[in-house]
Amino acid sequence: NHLLLYKENFFFFHNSRGIAVAEDVAARRLNISKQHEKLMAEHNNIGRWGEQKAAEYLEQHGFRIIWRDWRDGHRDIDIVAIDADCLVVVEVKTRRNADFMAPEQAVDARKIRNLSLAAAKFVRANNIEMPVRFDIVSVTGVPGGPCEINHIEDAFLPLSY
């Protein structure tokens, strides 16, 4: 296809047979928007499923979950748990597969900073006086299928601000 002209919300193309074709830009945008919404809904469902799997895994390994999806403005903590005498802030990363990268590799410096600030606020707001540890739980798979869970204890040190 070769773009010929854009006029009044229409693109005009020559298709493979040399015939001029008009395409409504607004309709195309709406279709792309609907596709994006569907992908985001699926992405969010997989994320919630991964957080549920991570919580089940932690409970099976003796952790006591005290909060899920704690939020402070735009910062959040996926899971807050107690392990022995330690408060554990858990970041959950879920991916369909690890073809692109391992899920835990998505925890970058910006995420560590935001988790550190959120954890500090959580500790202050709840008057917690115990050591804090930051773990990552990666979940690879899809709902209804097998999944792989990787728990990285003490995954990073908090940034101090």
Q: Which region holds residue 34: left if phi is over 0, alpha if psi is between -120 and 50, else beta? A: alpha
Residue 112 · residue 157 · CB < 8 Å: no
Statement: the pTM of the whole predicted model exceeds 0.75: no
Consecutive 10-residue runs of the chain (161 residues): their mean pLDDT? 48 53 55 56 76 97 97 95 97 86 83 95 95 95 91 88 51
